[in-house]
Amino acid sequence: MIKYFNINTFNLSAGKLDALILIRLRWLMCALLALMAMMMAITELIASEQFVKVIFVLMAATLINNIFEDQYKKNGSAPVSNFWQLFLDLIITTIAFYFLGGIVNPTYFIMLLIPMIAPLFVNFKESIVLLLSCAQMLLLQIWSPYLQSDDFIPQAHDLIGIYIVLFASFSLMSWLSYLLEQTGLRLQNMVKQNIRVDGLKALGALSASFCHELGTPFATMRLCLDRIKEGRATQLDMELIRNSFSQCELSLQSMMSMGLDDKDIKLSKTSLNEILEKTTDNFLREDLNIKFTPAISETYVLLPKIPFTKMIVDIIENSFEADANEVIISLNKNEDHFIIEITDDGEGIDESVLIKLGTPFNTTKEQGTGIGLYNAKTLLEMLGGNLSIERRKGTTRGTVANLIISKSLEHKD
């Protein structure tokens, strides 16, 4: 079941609610106006001509809303900004209430809801524009020729009380919007602090593993040097020293490859489909068949593009090194995550690696360090997801890697 109202509809960086809520609220608004017009027509408070005009306006609004929702499902964002969506709602309600009697109609307060909720969806300047536009459109309602009688002919001064309520409610919602923005900033700072603390913990664990990794070749070189000093050296000692140097050099290169520039770790709007398609197209080998089968439409996510692409390439390289003939990449999603599944028919991953998945220097490769899987797991956890690797079920060969990313990073603007 799709959740239309959840934490993913709130943009923490902008402190504003998502356009999807506006689309859902427009359905509700049209339904309420249609029901109200029908009840007034049944009780003969309005003529059939007025009812037809209101229904025509609501049909146009419904058609526009269908277009907005269809575009949202395809692209993850509405074709127009939240400001223009709210302005459209204001025009729709203004025309509808003009035919329903203007401010004589006691349900005209629905018009006031639009500028009241504006601070939750748009910035302060845009919300002020919507507030002033609503004030002007309320003024137009006093000239509505419908449902007016000699007992009460509305005048401009009758709007004073309405304006007081409108501006007071707008001020309250602006204050609430400010609190939401501040809460969003605090949440962002908490996330950054947690990432920083996790990074320090990971650095400590990595440093300890790295020192352990270098300890063995250093001990070997010292023994060989002692034998050389004592004059008992053989050709084997020289080979051991050379191999130990190579092992140290490989470990140092692996450590250096973990460093990223600021531009590398910067989150940017990235198409998951495009990144996987390009990686598949560029990874051409005669003895390796790669297929990409997306199960969802074009999806944009805030990602560090360079490290993420390198992670995908590293995992495919692991499949190639495991003598895989075929690699299948799929893209899917559930209620909370995007899931990239990479399946191969190679030799399969060793059980010892699975037990300590993502631990630095945990590898069965002769010249491997395990840094690649460690980087992948760390990056995905930073993106609110995880890395899971398992043996392919129903066969003795093959590996399945699931790269999980939080849907809260989906870009919908």
- Which pLDDT score, from 0 to 100, does residue 151 have? 59
Please tell me the predicted confidence (pLDDT) of residue 355.
Answer: 64
Maximum mean pLDDT: which of 18-22, 95-99, 105-109: 95-99
102 part of a folded domain: yes
Please report, to the nearest 10 degrees, the dihedral formed by the alpha carbons of residues 217, 222, 223, 229 taken in order. Answer: 150
Residue 336, number of CB atoms within 10 A of its CB: 15
Band the pLDDT of 128: cuts 50, 70, 90: very high
Lowest mean pLDDT among 133-147, 177-191, 195-209, 314-328: 195-209
Give the mean model confidence (pLDDT) for residues 358-366.
53
pLDDT of residue 365: 52
**Residue 93 vs residue 237, higher pLDDT:** 93
Identify the domain boundary among 126, 154, 182.
154
pLDDT at site 196 = 64
* pLDDT of amino acid 206: 60
pLDDT > 70: percent of the chain:
75
What per-residue confidence (pLDDT) applies to 56?
Answer: 92
Choose the final residue of a domain: 132, 154, 176: 154
The DSSP secondary structure of 152-172, one letter per residue, reads B---GGGGHHHHHHHHHHHHH
Whether the per-residue pLDDT at 131 is higher than 70: the answer is yes
| Domain-embedded: residue 286 | yes
DSSP state of 389: E
Between 85-94, 326-335, 366-375, the lowest mean confidence (pLDDT) is in 366-375
Average pLDDT estimate for 220-247: 79
**Digit-coded pLDDT (tens) for 247-300:** 776 666 555 555 444 444 567 788 888 888 888 877 666 566 888 888 888 888
Per-residue model confidence (pLDDT) at position 261: 47
- Same domain? For 125 and 272 the reply is no
Long-range pairs for 248-255 at CB < 8 Å and ≥24 separation? 248/214, 248/217, 248/218, 250/367, 250/369, 251/210, 251/213, 251/214, 251/369, 254/369, 254/371, 255/210, 255/371
Q: Same structural domain for residues 288 and 411?
A: yes
Helices (H) and strands (E) in the chain, counts: 12, 9
In a domain, residue 402? The reply is yes
The predicted model gives 349-357 an average pLDDT of 66
Specify if 14 maps to a domain. Answer: yes
Q: Is the pLDDT of residue 304 over 80?
A: yes
Determine the pLDDT at residue 3.
35
Q: What's the rounded mean pLDDT across residues 338-357? A: 77
Strands 10-11 and 16-17: antiparallel
The region of weakest confidence among 4-13, 89-98, 188-197, 201-210 is: 4-13
Instruction: Give the Cα separation of 391 and 50 in Å (integer).
Output: 68
Task: Give the pLDDT score at 201.
Answer: 63
Q: How high is the pLDDT of residue 24?
A: 84
- 148: three-class secondary structure by DSSP: coil
Structural domain of 53: 7-154
pLDDT confidence bin for 129, thresholds 50/70/90: very high
Question: 367 or 50: whose pLDDT is higher?
Answer: 50
DSSP-derived secondary structure letter, 106 = T
Give the span between the Cα atoms of 392 and 349, in whole angstroms: 9
Number of domains making up the chain: 2
pLDDT above 70 (res 148): no
For residue 65, is it within any domain? yes
Residues 410 and 266 in one domain: yes
> Helix, strand, or coil here: 147?
coil
- Mean pLDDT across the stretch 348-356? 67
pLDDT at 350 over 50: yes
pLDDT digits over 59-72, tens only?
A: 998 998 888 888 87
Please give the mean pLDDT across all residues of the chain: 77
Residues 150 and 273 in one domain: no
pLDDT tens by residue, 380-408: 887 788 888 888 877 778 888 899 988 88
Please say which residue of 100, 126, 154 terminates a domain. 154
- Give whole-number Cα distances, 18 to 14, 71, 85, 126, 159, in Å: 10, 14, 12, 16, 32
Same domain, 150 and 265: no
Highest mean pLDDT among 148-162, 168-182, 212-226: 168-182
In-domain check, residue 316: yes
Does some domain include residue 64?
yes
**Distance of alpha carbon 73 from alpha carbon 80, whole angstroms:** 14
Residue 11 is assigned to a structural domain of this protein? yes
**Domain of 292: which CATH number?**
3.30.565.10
